[in-house]
Chains A and B, each alone.
Chain A
């Protein structure tokens, strides 16, 4: 990679891979699928590096989320086409709570306005700080808080309550 990497992709590979994987895994809950998504996202980033290097973190997180949601949609199509699998939880590996929250998350991401979705992905799936999210999206910290609040209030009440109890909201 180094011989064709004039602009620092190699130096940032680990950092970006971890971000992409975190976002993908939190949506998918499947190690192999998350790694497949990470590989695809990093390859796309490499191809477009000159154009995206200035905002690589935000780009990688956004594309990872979109790619992972695509995998979820593909799963659902497969489930619908095979009646025996109907009812299989989206996350067959993790605990029920995680599976339910993932389902919640996927539904939420699918219906949020663009900016709220970007903030949700960067702030809560990639775990960037408010200041970092504000910097990556070129908006104020107040705007980050506002978008995050609006995005997460659409969560199921029981999830919201639990998150509030944990001091997240």
Chain B
């Protein structure tokens, strides 16, 4: 039917193409591994956000001035300052370069909203492929890319939510495996048997304590299967990427709940030179926030409504649809 469109096409796969395909596949795999590490780093960042300033003098955790913190986004209504405290948690894949400019990409970005009085907490995962920026103060780009400047990332996230961001904590992915073990593993509840043959994760269901390796396999899972209790057959988990975000947030909560039991100094040793906090997150603020986390009654997740788009460069990206985020209960504190 369209054979005439083959005019001028002479294609024969050769060894050169094979080599280029393999090289490209290696790059894709490396980026995927880096992204996974970044995503996995996010769960422990909340805990670190609250304990890092307490003993900052005894550590090499870097404190920097981040522009845009506490600034009401342009066009935000009078309700933008609602008394909540918003902390931006960032899992990075590279080292620090100094100032508010940090190398590498932001592979995991989660906005934590603490509401005093209500003893509630909301988590909003900001997809790394989300296009943000106004083209003026913040250049248009993906969250993962513009975040090299924390100030721009802070402004972009404030714009998305319509509320000022108060604090920011950033941790390198390389610190995660040790941190996960330093937490003594995380206890999670699985409502049925699950497995992911790609990442190597499996569980028979019920409450289980996951160490660093199993936690990594769980959070990195992209091909999760669940066993149907009526038939005993394995079926693909239909929740897809949203399910993955939810699992990451679930792990984040479990990590925060381990705060009381961990050896903070051992944790901070693992963070030496691998964490950055803003210089407004002082001791009294951190203690106040820690008290709020300790007494949580409810945890919600806000799901941003996004749609797929193609960038001018031909890549895949996401953009906000304009619809309000969907709010869902995530997990009851101490559920397992």
Which residues of A does B touch, CB under 8 Å?
A: 1, 13-14, 17-18, 21-22, 25-26, 29, 31, 34-35, 38-40, 42-44, 46-47, 50-51, 67, 70-71, 73-74, 77-78, 93-95, 97-98, 101-102, 105, 123-125, 127, 152, 163, 166, 168
Binary flags per residue of B1-31, CB closer than 8 Å to A gives 1, else 0: 1111111111101000110111011001100
Q: State the CA gap A71–B9 with chains docked (Å).
A: 18
Q: State the CA gap A16–B30 with chains docked (Å).
A: 24
Decide: B5 and A25 in contact? CB cutoff 8 A.
yes
Which residues of B does A touch, CB under 8 Å?
A: 1-11, 13, 17-18, 20-22, 24-25, 28-29, 32, 198, 223, 310, 312-316
Q: What is the distance, in angstroms, from A28's C-beta to the closest C-beta of chain B?
A: 9
Decide: A94 and B8 in contact? CB cutoff 8 A.
yes
Decide: B7 and A38 in contact? CB cutoff 8 A.
no
- Contacting residues, chain A, for B32 (C-beta < 8 A): 47
Our pick among A25, A93, A125 for the contact of B11 (Cβ within 8 Å) is A25
Interface secondary structure of A, over-half rule: helix
Apart from A46-B21, A73-B314, what are 18 other A-B pairs with CB-CB below 8 Å? A13-B13, A14-B13, A17-B13, A22-B6, A22-B11, A31-B10, A38-B11, A39-B20, A39-B24, A42-B17, A44-B25, A70-B314, A78-B312, A93-B8, A94-B5, A98-B5, A98-B7, A102-B5
Q: What is the distance, in angstroms, from B114's C-beta to the closest C-beta of chain A?
A: 39
Our pick among A31, A47, A74, A124 for the contact of B29 (Cβ within 8 Å) is A47
- Contacting residues, chain A, for B7 (C-beta < 8 A): 29, 94-95, 98
Q: State the CA gap A17–B243 with chains docked (Å).
A: 33
Q: What is the distance, in angstroms, from B238's C-beta to the closest C-beta of chain A?
A: 16
Q: State the CA gap A74–B311 with chains docked (Å).
A: 8
Decide: B9 and A25 in contact? CB cutoff 8 A.
yes
Our pick among B5, B6, B17, B313 for the contact of A17 (Cβ within 8 Å) is B17
Decide: A18 and B21 in contact? CB cutoff 8 A.
no
User: Given A73-B310, A74-B314, A98-B5, is A51 in contact with B24 using a C-beta cutoff of 8 Å?
Assistant: no
Our pick among B5, B9, B24, B198 for the contact of A31 (Cβ within 8 Å) is B9
Decide: A43 and B2 in contact? CB cutoff 8 A.
no
Decide: A46 and B22 in contact? CB cutoff 8 A.
yes
Decide: A77 and B5 in contact? CB cutoff 8 A.
no
Our pick among B11, B24, B313 for the contact of A35 (Cβ within 8 Å) is B11
- Contacting residues, chain B, for A70 (C-beta < 8 A): 310, 314-316
Our pick among B9, B10, B18, B315 for the contact of A13 (Cβ within 8 Å) is B18
Q: State the CA gap A1–B32 with chains docked (Å).
A: 19
Q: What is the distance, in angstroms, from B82's C-beta to the closest C-beta of chain A?
A: 39
Decide: B1 and A163 in contact? CB cutoff 8 A.
yes
- Contacting residues, chain B, for A18 (C-beta < 8 A): 11, 13
Our pick among A43, A50, A95, A152 for the contact of B24 (Cβ within 8 Å) is A43
- Contacting residues, chain B, for A127 (C-beta < 8 A): 3
Decide: A46 and B25 in contact? CB cutoff 8 A.
yes
- Contacting residues, chain A, for B1 (C-beta < 8 A): 123-124, 152, 163, 166, 168
Q: State the CA gap A125–B4 with chains docked (Å).
A: 11
Decide: B11 and A105 in contact? CB cutoff 8 A.
no
Our pick among B2, B8, B24, B313 for the contact of A101 (Cβ within 8 Å) is B2
Q: State the CA gap A44–B25 with chains docked (Å).
A: 6
Decide: B314 and A34 in contact? CB cutoff 8 A.
no
- Contacting residues, chain B, for A47 (C-beta < 8 A): 25, 28-29, 32
Q: State the CA gap A35–B21 with chains docked (Å).
A: 11
Q: State the CA gap A135–B323 with chains docked (Å).
A: 40
Q: State the CA gap A74–B313 with chains docked (Å).
A: 6
Q: State the CA gap A105–B313 with chains docked (Å).
A: 22
User: Given A18-B11, A43-B24, is A125 in contact with B2 using a C-beta cutoff of 8 Å?
Assistant: yes
- Contacting residues, chain A, for B24 (C-beta < 8 A): 39-40, 43
Q: State the CA gap A50–B223 with chains docked (Å).
A: 11
Q: State the CA gap A127–B9 with chains docked (Å).
A: 15
The 4 lowest CB-CB distance pairs between A and B, nearest first, are: A43-B24, A17-B13, A26-B5, A124-B1
Q: State the CA gap A147–B21 with chains docked (Å).
A: 33
Q: State the CA gap A50–B196 with chains docked (Å).
A: 13
Q: What is the distance, in angstroms, from B211's C-beta to the closest C-beta of chain A?
A: 26
Decide: B314 and A26 in contact? CB cutoff 8 A.
no
Q: What is the distance, in angstroms, from B161's C-beta to the closest C-beta of chain A?
A: 29
- Contacting residues, chain B, for A17 (C-beta < 8 A): 11, 13, 17
Q: State the CA gap A46–B263 with chains docked (Å).
A: 43
- Contacting residues, chain B, for A21 (C-beta < 8 A): 9, 11, 13
- Contacting residues, chain A, for B4 (C-beta < 8 A): 97-98, 101
Decide: A34 and B21 in contact? CB cutoff 8 A.
no
- Contacting residues, chain A, for B312 (C-beta < 8 A): 74, 77-78
- Contacting residues, chain B, for A123 (C-beta < 8 A): 1
